[in-house]
């Protein structure tokens, strides 16, 4: 399952990196929670948080949808969190 966790982190990183101006501040980490679900944590510079969230949360919602779709075959639950 570690491979799936790394793949999801890479997927989210490849989606978020073009959106942010300060790519050096971008940090994407995926961890497996105790209940078996995968949590992908995205850290960006303070000025880039709005770009990742998008208007009315549309961008972050789309990122969550893509991550869940990528993990759907494995049956794992995935959550993408933006950490300020």
| Token pair 């799936």: residue | 4
The pLDDT, as a whole number, for residue 2 is 81
pLDDT value at 71 more than 80: yes
Residue 1 pLDDT class (50, 70, 90 cuts): low
Torsion of CA 21, 49, 59, 83, to 10 degrees: 120
pLDDT exceeds 80 at position 84:
no
pTM recorded for the entire structure: 0.92
Where does residue 55 rank: exposed (0-12), middle (13-18), buried (19+ CB within 10 A)?
A: exposed
Domain ranges of the chain: 2-83
The CATH superfamily holding the domain 2-83 is K homology (KH) domain (3.30.300.20)
Phi, psi dihedral angles at 38 (to 5 degrees): -110, 130
């Amino acid at each position: 399952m570690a491979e799936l966790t790394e793949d999801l982190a890479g997927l989210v990183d490849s989606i978020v990196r073009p959106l942010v101006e300060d790519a050096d501040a971008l940090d994407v980490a995926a961890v497996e929670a105790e209940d078996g679900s995968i949590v992908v944590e995205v850290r960006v510079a303070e000025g880039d948080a709005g770009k990742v969230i998008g208007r009315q949360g549309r961008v972050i919602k789309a990122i969550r949808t893509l991550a869940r779709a990528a993990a759907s075959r494995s049956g794992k639950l995935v959550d993408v969190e933006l950490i300020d």
